[in-house]
Structure 1
């Protein structure tokens, strides 16, 4: 039976939060009102770290920001973002972990609370074909409308999206001999609890304590980087 390997993205495969850094990047290049946006972005990031973030509220804020720009402009911004912010954050330890599962022939997917526009090029740069992410509504010209499709891919929503994705593939979690999920955050405990091999990866304090209590392995990919 094939194995399934799932990965969170931010602070798991990369040592930064891509959503937060995208907002900081937009401020830096003058695409948004830097003072107002940076303050709001920082508030949401603090809520995420504390486990109090309303994912719908945050995603509506993030997607409204994307909707201010036509798609060609967004793509130009993102190419610069990849070069300046993401490429330096793609570190060997993450590629080594992915390669271990690739060499085993595992089905691999990234499942992230960050929206698909921000994360699709990052998943591609990591060599991961399958991406489960918050889905922005697009118009016929692929412009972001500012609306979210479906439930957020955060907390228990990650479990919902995983089952939906597997169902689309005519599969279910029990079809895999082993299922792994690597995450840094206590926000991902719902999905960590349903796989056979949860791995606390660069864990925050709350997840580290939970993992220790549950006897889950803990790894740190970036402490030597």
Structure 2
């Protein structure tokens, strides 16, 4: 069946879940809010420019979670999703998901954020299939490292092709919705690229390529 693929940050939600979780770690007292968010914002600017080394960002953003159990993080992420993520879900995103579901499409979220955030957010959207950055677990605790291919830039294509092969699916008729220049490799791979609230570089590319451009609110 056709696959409808959605980016998460700034596509399904009006914000970046990794940044919002960094703010939450400050509220929890795990980091110094001012200095930690200053560094986060610097790295997010590199992301917007297509120049972020995702390995560096993940090492930075996961360090406060090192030594904590997945169960502890899950217990904290659930209420955070309810309080901080649900209010910024785009209503137009929910409509698009519903339209694809009504057509019988298989729905997948693929995100360059950690799976500990992406999976519970997708669940709130009624989506149970996700590809995100996987976190390393040692002796039942997060190590602060990642594992596997990071779902970022070309890595999204790599992970998606592996998933399709494992699931017996293919890209025929596939759609992908994204806001970011970092997702150009995957947008150029699918039959139906869909551009949502695009950054300037992606907007220019979309207009030249004749891709649909959506303004979601």
Question: Taking structure 1 as the reference length, what is the TM-score of the superposition?
Answer: 0.91
1:188-225, Cα deviation, whole Å (9 max, x unpaired): 00000010110111111111111001110100111xxx
- Shift of residue 146 of structure 1? 1.3
| Equivalent in 136, 151, 161 of residue 153 of structure 1 | 151
Say whether residues 1:162 and 2:160 are aligned partners.
Answer: yes
Alpha-carbon separation, structure 2, partners of 1:73 and 1:3: 36
Match of 1:205 in 2: 200
The ranges of structure 1 where at least 4 consecutive aligned residues each deviate by more than 4 angstroms after the TM superposition are none
Structure 2: unaligned runs, 5 residues or longer: none
Alpha-carbon separation, structure 1, partners of 2:38 and 2:68: 21
C-alpha contact 2:30 2:64 (8 A) present in aligned 1: no
1:86-135, Cα deviation, whole Å (9 max, x unpaired): 12112322111100000000011000000101111101001111100011
RMSD: 1.4
Match of 2:213 in 1: 218
Alpha-carbon separation, structure 1, partners of 2:214 and 2:90: 15
| Equivalent in 185, 194, 215 of residue 180 of structure 2 | 185
Q: Which secondary structure does the structure 2 equivalent of 1:110 belong to?
A: strand
Q: Which secondary structure does the structure 1 equivalent of 2:95 belong to?
A: helix
C-alpha contact 2:91 2:216 (8 A) present in aligned 1: no
- Shift of residue 68 of structure 1? 4.4
Say whether residues 1:195 and 2:214 are aligned partners.
Answer: no
Match of 1:114 in 2: 113
Match of 2:2 in 1: 3
Match of 1:43 in 2: 42
- Shift of residue 36 of structure 1? 2.4
Alpha-carbon separation, structure 1, partners of 2:31 and 2:72: 13
Paired residues for 1:60-99 under 5 Å:
60-99=59-98
- Shift of residue 46 of structure 1? 1.1
C-alpha contact 2:6 2:108 (8 A) present in aligned 1: yes
Alpha-carbon separation, structure 1, partners of 2:41 and 2:29: 17
- Shift of residue 31 of structure 1? 2.4
Question: Taking structure 2 as the reference length, what is the TM-score of the superposition?
Answer: 0.95
Alpha-carbon separation, structure 2, partners of 1:43 and 1:102: 38
- Shift of residue 183 of structure 1? 0.2
